[in-house]
Amino acid sequence: MFNFLKKKSSPKDELHALATGKLIPLEQVADDVFSQKMMGDGFAVQPDTGEIVAPITGKIESIFPTKHALTISTSTGLELMLHLGLDTVELNGAPFSLNVSEGQMVTAGEPLVKMDLAAVTAAGKETTVIVVITNMDVVAELTTVEKRSVTAGEVVQEISLK
């Protein structure tokens, strides 16, 4: 009867670890563009294996020609960029094998990319994988991330949308 008195709950999303390894707050990533949140907020994982999975259910919007980054959009309007390694654009896609294509729908935890960690390291690059919310203007609140061990697909961050 008094439904108009109830506060409308804002939509929520959950971000999942995109790899098994050590979860790292974005501020601690060894790259100023990410650590200073110039592209948005999110988290990183120092991967133990090269299996990279979808951090959220959504649509693959774009895959960079060098395969080191891709973007995903969700039905709630969230836009994410996944960045595989630091300065890996210079590797021209060599250490990345894609399991997805642009326009494909994916579910959280679904394999996206196989990353050859040894090849990335041998090239003198960091293997840190990063998830960044690129449209922070739709985010009302984001839970903080603490350094810890995670398994690919595990929920690591919750988002309340405006």
Alpha carbon distance 157, 16 (integer Å)? 7
Whether 68 is catalytic: no
Catalytic entry in 46, 83, 86, 130: 83
Alpha carbon distance 130, 58 (integer Å)? 17
- In DSSP notation, 65-106 reads TTSSEEEEE-TTS-EEEEEEEESGGGGTTTTEEES--TT-EE
Query: Which residues belong to the active site?
Result: 83
